[in-house]
Amino acid sequence: MRRVLSVIVLNEDGVLSRISGLFAGRGYNIDSLTVAPIPKTNLSRLTIVTSGSAPVLEQIVKQLHKLIPTYKVIESGQFVEKEMALVKIPLNEDFNGLDAMLKAYNGTIASSGEDFIVVMVADDYDRIDNFLKAVKKYNPTDIVRSGSVAMDI
Would you state the pLDDT for residue 67? Answer: 83
Q: Name 136's Cβ contacts closer than 8 Å, sequence gap at least 6.
A: none
On whether the CB atoms of residues 131 and 101 are closer than 8 A, the answer is: yes
On whether the CB atoms of residues 14 and 77 are closer than 8 A, the answer is: no
Give the global pTM. Answer: 0.81
Answer whether residue 68 shows pLDDT above 80: no
The DSSP bridge partners found for residue 90 are 116
Helix and strand numbers (H, E) in the chain are 4, 9
Count Cβ atoms within 10 A of the Cβ of residue 63 and give its class: 0-12 exposed, 13-18 middle, 19 or more buried: middle
Query: Band of the pLDDT at 115, cuts 50, 70, 90?
Result: very high
Percent of the chain scored above 90 by pLDDT?
63
Domain coordinates in residue numbering, the chain: 2-76, 80-152
Lowest-pLDDT range of 18-27, 82-91, 129-138: 18-27
Rounded to a whole number of angstroms, the CA Rg of the chain reads 18
Domain 80-152 in the same topology as domain 2-76: yes
- Matching CATH number, 2-76, of 3.40.630.10, 3.40.50.2300, 3.30.70.260, 3.40.50.1110: 3.30.70.260
Question: Which CA distances in Å does 28 have to 33, 69, 74, 77?
Answer: 13, 20, 18, 22
Answer whether residue 36 shows pLDDT above 90: yes
Determine the residue type at 81: E
Continuous H helices in 28-151:
54-66, 98-104, 125-134
Continuous H helices in 44-124:
54-66, 98-104
Q: What is the DSSP letter of 62?
A: H
Would you state the pLDDT for residue 56? Answer: 85
Query: Band of the pLDDT at 144, cuts 50, 70, 90?
Result: very high
Mean pLDDT within 51-68: 86
* Homologous superfamily of domain range 80-152: ACT-like. Chain A, domain 2 (3.30.70.1150)
